[in-house]
């Protein structure tokens, strides 16, 4: 009788711990995948673990999260590894997941309800892609103006970004590698950006060419890597930095390809 209740008790503890550990690992992986800084992931997970009544030790690796969960007396433990899903930066998901961690802490949610809310957050779609296309084209055209381009150059950059970003969207929807997508997109944008030289319609053709590919620069991974550096997560910081550098190199390759095709001399 005693043995059975002990066994049952142990099995219950194990199941609870397993559920909490899986939730924490998946939560941290989702935050990592949407481009949150490592310190944010740490603080959110710590808050959740305190509410669940467990100790958690987390290892944040560039493409994996390993969570080890102990009960309060350090007698039972469970560990779980999770891979981030999706690689695109998503601030809406970041905000929703951070909010969820506060909800768990303040409403004292159990891990089953929390997992339900977590699944809801993951199902939310991104912004309308046509809206993003329009806003990005306008943004890059404003960029050209900020660098001092005349209005014809701004128009060229608007058209270049429109087509370049459309190519990027279509290729990413087909799950083509993001590096090849960047090269292709930069190539198309730079060919159109060269029209200032080709048709002689702009007074500042070099600015049109130069700014036509700037929408592809991975700015946020650079900044995230800086934040991880300050927080001491050197591995994640280096991995994000190298990923951003590779995308920048791909961008330059596409730009050089476009300039070579249009036989542009370097500005």
Partner 1 sequence: MTTHLIFTWFLVIGFVVIGILARCIVRFNKTTNHYRVVGFEGKEDFFEYDDDDNDDENYK
Partner 2 sequence: MEILFEILQDMLFAAMAAIGFASISNTPFSAMKYCALLGAVGHSMRFVMMTYLGVHIIIAAAIAALAIGILAIPFAPKAKCPPETFSYPALLPMIPGMYAYRAVQGLVMCLSSSEESVFDHYFYLMNFNGLTCIIVVAGMVLGVTLPIFVFKHISFSATREIIND
Contact status: 126 vs partner 2 (CB under 8 A): yes
Stretch that binds partner 2, among 9-17, 56-64, 172-180, 221-229 (CB under 8 A): 221-229
Please report how close the Cβ of residue 123 comes to partner 1 at its closest, in angstroms: 16
**CB closer to partner 2 out of 11 and 242:** 242
Among 26, 94, 195, 243, binds partner 1 (CB under 8 A): 195
- Per rule CB under 8 A, is residue 98 in the interface with partner 2? yes
Q: How far is the CB of 188 from partner 1 (least distance, A)?
A: 5
The upper half-sphere exposure of residue 147, i.e. CA atoms within 13 Å in the direction of its Cβ, equals: 19
**Residue 256 interacts with partner 1 (CB under 8 A)?**
no
Quick one: what does residue 195 bind among partner 2, partner 1, none, with the CB cut-off 5 to 8 Å set by partner type?
A: partner 1
Tell me which of 66, 217, 246, 262 binds partner 2, using CB under 8 A. 217
How many chain residues bind partner 2 (CB under 8 A)?
53
Residue 130 makes contact with partner 1 by CB under 8 A: no
Kindly list the residues in this chain that would bind partner 1 in the complex (CB under 8 A): 163, 166-167, 170, 174, 188, 191-192, 194-195, 198-199, 261-263
């Amino acid at each position: 009788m005693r043995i059975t209740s002990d066994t049952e008790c142990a099995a219950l503890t194990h199941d609870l711990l397993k559920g909490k550990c899986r939730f924490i690992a998946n939560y941290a992986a989702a935050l990592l995948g949407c481009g949150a800084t490592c310190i944010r992931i740490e603080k959110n997970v710590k808050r959740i673990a305190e509410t669940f009544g467990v100790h958690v030790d987390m290892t944040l690796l560039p493409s994996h999260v390993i969570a080890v969960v102990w009960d309060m007396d350090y007698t039972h433990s469970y560990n779980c590894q999770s891979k981030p899903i999706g690689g695109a930066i998503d601030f809406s998901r970041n905000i929703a997941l951070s909010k969820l961690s506060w909800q768990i802490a303040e409403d004292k949610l159990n891990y089953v309800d929390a997992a339900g809310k977590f699944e809801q957050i993951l199902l939310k779609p991104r912004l309308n892609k046509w809206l993003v296309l329009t806003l990005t084209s306008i943004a890059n055209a404003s960029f050209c103006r900020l660098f001092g381009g005349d209005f014809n150059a701004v128009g060229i950059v608007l058209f270049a970004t429109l087509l370049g970003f459309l190519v990027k969207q279509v290729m990413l929807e087909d799950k083509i590698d993001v590096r090849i997508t960047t090269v292709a997109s930069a190539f198309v944008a730079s060919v159109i950006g060269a029209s200032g030289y080709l048709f002689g319609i702009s007074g500042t053709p070099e600015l049109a060419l130069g700014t036509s590919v700037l929408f592809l620069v991975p700015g946020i991974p650079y900044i995230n890597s800086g934040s991880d550096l300050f927080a001491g997560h050197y591995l994640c910081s280096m991995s994000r930095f190298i990923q951003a550098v590779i995308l920048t190199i791909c961008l330059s390759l596409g730009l050089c390809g476009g300039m070579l095709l249009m036989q542009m001399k370097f500005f």
